[in-house]
Structure 1
Amino acid sequence: MSSAFEFCLPTPAKAVPTGPDWIHEIKYDGYRLRVERQGKTVRLFTRNGHDWTARFPWIVQAALKNRETHFVIDGEAVVLGVDGVSDFNALHSRQHDDEVQLYAFDVLALGGDDLRPLPLSMRKAHLARLLRGRPDGMFIAPFEAAAIGPDLFGAACRMALEGLVSKRKDRRYGAGRSKDWIKVKNRTHLAMTRVF
């Protein structure tokens, strides 16, 4: 299954798009992750194709608790601090692997059906139904619509968050870099100077 699904990557930008066709999500500071469940098997893949299934047991357990036995979720692996803000240093340290959760923002397949051709608004509805019981270890990315984007970005910056990802709600999920997904980073966030 893993070779069939490639990540959609946001295009960096300096300004948050506005208009009725856009939705906006807070950008959590973590590792991009795809969760694939087929029956009793769950696998976690990074953007570079690394299998991190053994690394994040809480996400695996959450996927196995779901009633649906076949799905592919796109999200961000994060460690949340007591303030609810993602803590990249805690995540990167590997000392908190058992605390890593999935910030789920898209569903690519469900019940054997490929959902990527559907518009994002429909995929979001499917994701909400899939995770409606919210098993510990996964949470759904909240989002806001339309003209609120610039104000939401300003609030994210004031809260010292990484930034915003804005997505066209009427577009399919496409592999690779996409102008239908726009990423605007908080220039004062530590992620802007991070070097590995």
Structure 2
Amino acid sequence: MLFTPIKPMLLQMGNNNEIDDNPEWIYDIKWDGWRILVHKEGDRVEAYTRHGNNVTSKFPELQEVGQSIQSHTAIIDCEGVVLRNGVSVFDDFAYRGRLSNKEKIKEATVTHPATFIAFDVLATDKVYTSKPLVDRKEILSSIIEPSSKLLVTPSIVGNGSNIFQLTKDKGMEGIVGKQCNSIYKTNHRSHDWLKYKHFKIIDAVILGYKENPFTMLVGTQINGKYKPLANVEFGFKLEEKTAFREIAKQIVTKVERDMMWVEPILCCKVQYLEKTNTGSLRIVSFKGFNFDKVPEEIY
């Protein structure tokens, strides 16, 4: 188990209108970065992504992380983040993950300092995956001396609606709700763990589409020109696809490889989690056509 890739336990999407204030649930802040499992034995510390990639060389901060773990041996489930005013910025951590040049990595420890936020422990000298979450949380807190590079995520029992509103007010991604007695099931997506995200809705112009899988390219108007914002693949009803295809075949302007560009005359609503530094939308889904809008009103 130690120093080998582990596929972590994953979450199901929860309904924001059904957040349970039941004391049998524990709520954590949901941080926006990369899922990272930190392995430690003595002075050796390694980090693996949820897909099993060893990214240790990208994060010199892991040496300080190891010093914060008071147990000789440990496997800790974390979110790797870059914090700006207490809020995690996905683009900044993704930038760290793309770096391979040693000098640029060294510079980035100053410009984009990584912090690892721990929320679970799989093992120390014993394996804890069969223990209830509430016990694992206690073990986790007992073996970590918080530092600027390793923190334990704040948790609250019950009162999920309160912490959800708090994270919204602070511009954070959302929260995670977990059954207090849930065990840790590797490589498993469980309804015992639910994520609740603060999505936003935006009006957009349909610029083109692809088939296989069906995907819309949507954008906005800037200085009289249309800028793509996102490729939208999810959220379509069958009848919406059918209706769009009937209209689209009449307004196709050109075909480039698998992209069919259309006249920018149709508007829609899309849901997204956040905008990247370049203005693109992350985690997007279709929320219906908007016939009350015209493209000139979207910018």
What pairs with 1:29-48 in structure 2 (closer than 5 Å)?
29-48=32-51
> Max radius of gyration: which structure?
2
How far is the alpha carbon of 1:151 from its aligned partner?
A: 2.1
- The AA in structure 2 aligned to 1:41 is R
What's 1:167 paired with?
Answer: 178
SS at match of 2:57: coil
What's 1:114 paired with?
Answer: 127
What's 2:259 paired with?
Answer: none
CA–CA distance in structure 2, aligned partners of residues 49 and 134 of structure 1: 26
SS at match of 2:56: coil
How far is the alpha carbon of 1:39 from its aligned partner?
A: 2.7
Q: 2:6, 2:52 within 8 Å by CA — same for their partners in 1? A: no
What runs of 5+ residues in structure 2 fail to find an aligned partner? Answer: 97-103, 201-272, 284-299
Deviations 1:113-151 (A, max 9, x none): 0011111111111111101x22331000011111x1012
Deviations 1:170-196 (A, max 9, x none): 11111210111000111123079316x
What's 1:66 paired with?
Answer: 69
Q: Which range moved further: 180-189 or 57-66?
A: 57-66
Deviations 1:16-55 (A, max 9, x none): 2331210111111110000011233211000111101011
- How high is the TM-score relative to the length of structure 1? 0.89
Q: 1:10 to 1:191 in 2, by over 3 A?
A: farther
What's 1:127 paired with?
Answer: 140
Q: 1:58 to 1:154 in 2, by over 3 A?
A: same
Q: What is the percent sequence identity of the aligned residues?
A: 29
What's 1:190 paired with?
Answer: 274
What's 1:181 paired with?
Answer: 193
Deviations 1:48-74 (A, max 9, x none): 111010111113332145342200000
C-alpha RMSD of the superposition:
2.0
- The AA in structure 2 aligned to 1:7 is P
What pairs with 1:14-93 in structure 2 (closer than 5 Å)?
14-15=15-16, 16-81=19-84, 83-93=85-95
Between Structure 1 and Structure 2, how many residues are aligned? Answer: 191
* Higher-strand-fraction structure: 2
What's 2:157 paired with?
Answer: 145
SS at match of 2:63: helix
SS at match of 2:282: coil
SS at match of 1:23: strand
Q: 2:5, 2:52 within 8 Å by CA — same for their partners in 1? A: no
Q: 1:97 to 1:116 in 2, by over 3 A?
A: farther
CA–CA distance in structure 2, aligned partners of residues 5 and 25 of structure 1: 22
CA–CA distance in structure 2, aligned partners of residues 162 and 69 of structure 1: 33
CA–CA distance in structure 1, aligned partners of residues 75 and 69 of structure 2: 12
By relative contact order (CA 8 Å, sep 6+), the higher-ranking structure is: 1
SS at match of 2:62: helix
Q: 1:91, 1:97 within 8 Å by CA — same for their partners in 2? A: no
- The AA in structure 1 aligned to 2:7 is E
